[in-house]
Chain A
């Protein structure tokens, strides 16, 4: 997944570079503040471990193999900001001394492997790990799924970067990358579960943020915070699905359209009202009839729907409790 030099145009390289530099700059400040002078040796040896583990190939399908990425594992073991620093150090080392991954693509590679492949799935583990009833099995299951998602999201981001640069057509490279990495992601998930299982059995205190904060009778503030955590994580996943998956949905007629065709009442359908809506036929008005237009329409629709559901929920909550007390404070 390391993008070499020449695969990204300079504007894409600059944009991803600025985004990665901002994330890494913030992470470096937080890492130094949280761990003090012990940060360098602990993070250094952890980085060496991830670096060595990245060279570990595991069997995938029909004689092919994948390799470990470890972005999520780094965030779970040393903490999210330290994890970003660890992954950035690895990517930098690989680019400058091994020639694996380009220098102009450094920002994109850091963004894909440290931020999208580490920080984002860590947020998912944090949100879900604290929301489901906490057991060792549920923690490992959530971590395994998040590790799979980390690889798939990172590969999708990589495909989008290549497509925006004109290196490969999005319609071909996105499905190819996501399909291959969906299988490789299973290996990443299983490896992560295996590694975390050993840590949980022997020294669970080494896992930062474990167990995730959860009490069986949560406080009102804690309940609200976790509920928002789940909602925002769900929103992020839904927007990502809308952006990356929606444009490739089947163009075949759905069940109702098929029945309408066979029963010959398709022509009764009119688009006169629907055509006046801003996102008619899942197209964003300014972007024309392109996959990007569908992505933008999908993302906008998801966010608007999320906002409407939140407003509706608040309104219903107030009506059910006219004295202003909110429902669910006792967690029931």
Chain B
């Protein structure tokens, strides 16, 4: 996510990255859950690009952690349901564990693909790519602005919490949430005032609703070299998994 770094994959058209990501994920989700080998084979594709783009293991682990809550909910509910239904001739525990493993493999591969194909994604290029693929400009513009300001606002929220902590406020139970809300509300107030200032500054620089870009979108041979392994290899694995029983 360090937009300034010049990396080997920089010449790529952002549309190629997005198409590769979407194609890979759709193929992985469409693969029938018959055997583990196609999923292991798929992992080679993001693994190659993760190595090539030097994505840090910490960033990868952080992304994989996002899977935790919902995966745990599904595991818990499926296993509970299995225990309740076990006597009435429902699927075996082995089947349940296999289905949960497939869920984990599919979602894990998709997270790896995001890291591999968007690894050091520059937000401006990403927004440009999305616009190129037909996403409304207002949506990509809001996305760019949100990405620019969220860290700043998060830091400010931290400062507000530190200041409240210094005055003895420690949220311990649900009742403290209103106070937390008031803290957050003062940040929203500042954010909206900041938005007005940002708007005036942008108008001063000639903003008229769209962001100018220095690199126009253009397909190149790098995109073909990138898309071939990123799309054809997973498609071939998927086709083979359908053929091999």
Contact = CB atoms under 8 A, between A and B. Distances in A.
Nearest to A192: B181
B123 interface: yes
B192 A206 contact: yes
A90 B181 contact: no
B146 A39 contact: no
A194 B181 contact: yes
Interface stretch (A165-173, A220-228, A280-288): A165-173
B29 A104 contact: yes
B19 to A, nearest CB: 11
Interface of A: 1-10, 13, 24-25, 28-29, 31-32, 36-49, 51-53, 55-56, 58-61, 68, 77, 85-86, 88-90, 92-93, 95-104, 162, 167-169, 171-173, 176-177, 180, 183, 186-187, 190-199, 202-203, 206
Q: Can you list the 3 inter-chain pairs with the closest CB atoms, starting with the nearest?
A: A194-B181, A44-B145, A6-B106
Interface in B170-186: 171-186
Contacts of B26: 10, 104
B121 to A, nearest CB: 6
Most A-side CB within 10 Å, residue of B26, B71, B106, B139: B139
Contact of B29 (A6, A44, A197): A6
Contacts, number: 281
Nearest to A29: B136
Interface of B: 1, 18, 21-22, 25-26, 28-30, 63-64, 66-67, 70-71, 73-74, 76-78, 80-81, 84, 102-103, 105-107, 109-111, 114-115, 118, 121, 123, 126, 130, 136, 138-150, 152-154, 157, 171-189, 191-192, 194-196, 198-199, 202-203, 207-209
B181 A197 contact: yes
A59 to B, nearest CB: 6
Contacts of A102: 25, 107, 110
Contact of A97 (B105, B126, B181): B126
A88 B189 CA distance: 22
Contacts of A6: 28-29, 102-103, 105-107, 109-110
